[in-house]
Amino acid sequence: MPLELTASFIDPRILAFAIVIGMMALFAWGRWRYDFVALISLLAAIAVGVVPPERAFTGFSDDIVIIVATALVVSAAIAKSGVVERVARSVGGYLTNTWRQVLGLAGSVTAMSGLVKNIGALTMLMPVAFQLARRTGTSPSSLLMPMSFGALLGGTVTLIGTSPNIIVSRVREQILGEPYRMFDFAPVGGTLAIIGVIFLTFGWRLLPRNRKGAPTMDAAFNLEAYTTEVTVPENSPCVDITIRAFEDLSEGEVEVIAHFRGRRRRYQPAGNVVIKPGDILILQGEPDALERIVALEKLKLVRAKNTGELDAPKDDVGVMEAVITAESELVGYTVNQLKLFDRHGLTLLAVSRRGRRIANRLQKVKLQAGDVLVLQGDLTAMPETLGALHCLPLAERELRIGRSASLVPLAILAAAMVLVAFAIVPVAVGFFGAAVLVLLFRCLSLREAYEAIDWPILIMLGALIPVSDALRTTGGTELIAVWLSEAGGYLPPLGSLALIMAVAMAVTPFLNNAATVLVMAPIAATFAERLNESPDPFLMAVAIGAACDFLTPIGHQCNTLVMGPGGYRFGDYWRLGLPLSLIVLIVGTPLIAFVWPF
């Protein structure tokens, strides 16, 4: 007997609840990856008939998938713009330990979320968190989830901070003839946001310390410092400062090992030498440090002679590292002697030579076996070219030496957030437009954009949206509403208020916050009518409960956005989210009753 025919004899609501409960159990078990669990759940829902085949893949076109994907692209563009380094440098001296970093970052994103969409605020500050984590050795997993929760808390402060507030305002207009105003949410939301940030400042210790973000090939290579050659243009901020002051700008991570001015050469130049336009500096440091100082000080890479333009699509031009083997024809020759670009289409950007300092200009450096080269060229042809040269390609890495700082990505995101805030465009359209524009303005290549997207997260979302929607389409949510109405009849008003908020928190991961408000707001209004009380406190309870989804990564796009970069597992959200949810419930219930009396 076919499985779907057998399932037809069972109440579809029971089947929907069983699949959701089984899915949560598999998530908690943690043996299978979350995207695989989501695919299994979707297949099971299709097989038993609670998700019709024609609606099985509608989740992949849902707004939340578009928002998360494009937010990752925009965030990557901001991270590569050089602006992040300036922000991180300006605040880095104060945020020296984890609790200060959590306070500064979570507090900032909470404050910003009251003025722009919380997903936009989080997107802006995620790159800053990575910079601070890298500089101070803090695990990003200690910072990203508190930032996400701070963004959710900040969204409760104003009407435009999060979608539930806007929907609740419309429901109130339907009931009382007048919507909520911009700052009607502030007394409750603002107080909860402050208390929540205080908790997060210390509560991050509940998170696992060993979580790492999505692995990259960078971690496989622990190379010593690179040497690269730059020239100082007239508009560089480092003009007329000393070499010691220049090295201080990088916090000691970059060293000037040679200085050239005309025919004058200084090896290991004195720190009081003043940098002038046209000077050539030989810099040594880690790739990230070189990348930051070159971008921030608007320095120009000095490339070898005979270097022209590649005959390749711009999106295929990238940077790769390679090790010179003893059999390579490069050994014993300089780049100019080899005519590396003319013959092979490769441009030398930097050299790493273990155990030795390289103080010569790159075009005069005789290459040796074991040198690690940073080469720019056509990525589609480079593996074959390096093989012919007997060089071992290490990895295609995000070495961005020579890319100048730009405010364009931040300006694009700010413009998108203004359009969203004034309801000119929906959130998904705003982020989609921002992602296309950062590609159009060359803030990010297509290759980098595809690499920035966390595809397993998108697969999980696309698969789970129809599964969670099955609770509604089979009548499961109506069944919950009936149970809730019966239970609320035996409780005092304050107990009913707490029950409404708790159920909104529990249901949000499976319906998303907007759907939760649409389902719960009429129930809240019914409560108020049955108790002959004002609907305001109950509507506020729904808004707060739906906005404060701290228990899973799937209920709100902010939580989903940090899952991959933070290296979080499904069950990690409970560690920090459950106590924060209890705080919101315990503090928020009497606070709502005080601000909005029954």
- DSSP string of 318-330? EEEEEEEPTT-TT
Considering only the top CATH level, what class is 314-396? Answer: alpha beta
Tens of pLDDT along 51-93? 899 888 988 887 778 877 887 788 778 767 766 556 655 665 6
pLDDT exceeds cutoff 60 at 8: no
From first CA to last CA, the distance across the chain in angstroms is: 56
587 falls in which pLDDT band (50, 70, 90)?
very high
- Taking CA atoms, 340 is separated from 300, 306, 377, 379, in Å, by 20, 9, 11, 16
| Residues ≥6 apart with Cβ < 8 Å to 566 | 140, 141, 144, 145, 211, 213
- Residue 74 and residue 434: Cα distance in Å, rounded? 7
CATH code 3.30.70.1450 region(s) in the chain: 218-301, 314-396
pLDDT exceeds cutoff 70 at 220: no
Residue 317 dihedral angles phi and psi, to the nearest 5°: -85, 125
Query: At 577, which helix (H) or strand (E)?
Result: helix 572-595
Tens of pLDDT along 146-183? 999 999 999 888 776 776 777 787 778 777 778 787 78
Single out the residue of 395, 297, 380, 310 nearest to residue 89, CA to CA: 297
Query: At 283, which helix (H) or strand (E)?
Result: strand 280-285
405 falls in which pLDDT band (50, 70, 90)?
low
The arithmetic mean of pLDDT across residues 294-303, rounded, is: 77
Tens of pLDDT along 130-141? 878 877 778 888
Please report, rounded to a whole number, the percentage of residues in the chain having pLDDT higher than 90. Answer: 10
- Mean pLDDT value across the chain: 79
Predicted pLDDT at 596: 86
Predicted pLDDT at 1: 43
Which residue has better confidence, 5 or 444? 444
Residue 137 dihedral angles phi and psi, to the nearest 5°: 80, 10
Which residue has better confidence, 424 or 27? 424
- Taking CA atoms, 274 is separated from 19, 237, 269, in Å, by 69, 13, 10
The arithmetic mean of pLDDT across residues 274-282, rounded, is: 89
| Residues ≥6 apart with Cβ < 8 Å to 244 | 271, 272
Query: At 417, which helix (H) or strand (E)?
Result: helix 408-421
- Residue 154 and residue 110: Cα distance in Å, rounded? 4
Considering only the top CATH level, what class is 218-301? Answer: alpha beta
pLDDT exceeds cutoff 50 at 127: yes
- Residue 397 and residue 585: Cα distance in Å, rounded? 46
- Determine the 3-state secondary structure of 445 from DSSP: coil
Which two three-digit tokens encode residue 209? 């310390």
Which residue has better confidence, 450 or 78? 450
Please report, rounded to a whole number, the percentage of residues in the chain having pLDDT higher than 70. Answer: 82
Half-sphere exposure of 573 (CA within 13 A, CB side): 26
Residue positions counted in the chain: 598
Predicted pLDDT at 589: 93
pLDDT exceeds cutoff 70 at 510: no
- Residue 387 and residue 398: Cα distance in Å, rounded? 21
| Residues ≥6 apart with Cβ < 8 Å to 86 | 296, 405
Give CA 139 to chain center in angstroms: 15
Predicted pLDDT at 436: 94
- Residue 480 and residue 588: Cα distance in Å, rounded? 23
Predicted pLDDT at 288: 67
Reported pTM: 0.60
- Residue 464 and residue 103: Cα distance in Å, rounded? 33
Question: Sign (positive/negative) of CA torsion 268, 270, 271, 274?
Answer: negative
Half-sphere exposure of 337 (CA within 13 A, CB side): 11
Predicted pLDDT at 188: 92
Query: Is 403 buried (19+), middle (13-18) or exposed (0-12) by CB count in 10 A?
Result: middle
Predicted pLDDT at 221: 43
Which residue has better confidence, 241 or 295? 241
Predicted pLDDT at 5: 47
| Residues ≥6 apart with Cβ < 8 Å to 182 | 158, 159, 160
Half-sphere exposure of 75 (CA within 13 A, CB side): 27
Predicted pLDDT at 2: 45
Ranges 68-72, 293-297, 460-464, 535-539, most confident: 535-539
Question: Sign (positive/negative) of CA torsion 220, 221, 222, 226?
Answer: negative
216 falls in which pLDDT band (50, 70, 90)?
very low
Single out the residue of 134, 221, 214, 215 nearest to residue 395, CA to CA: 221
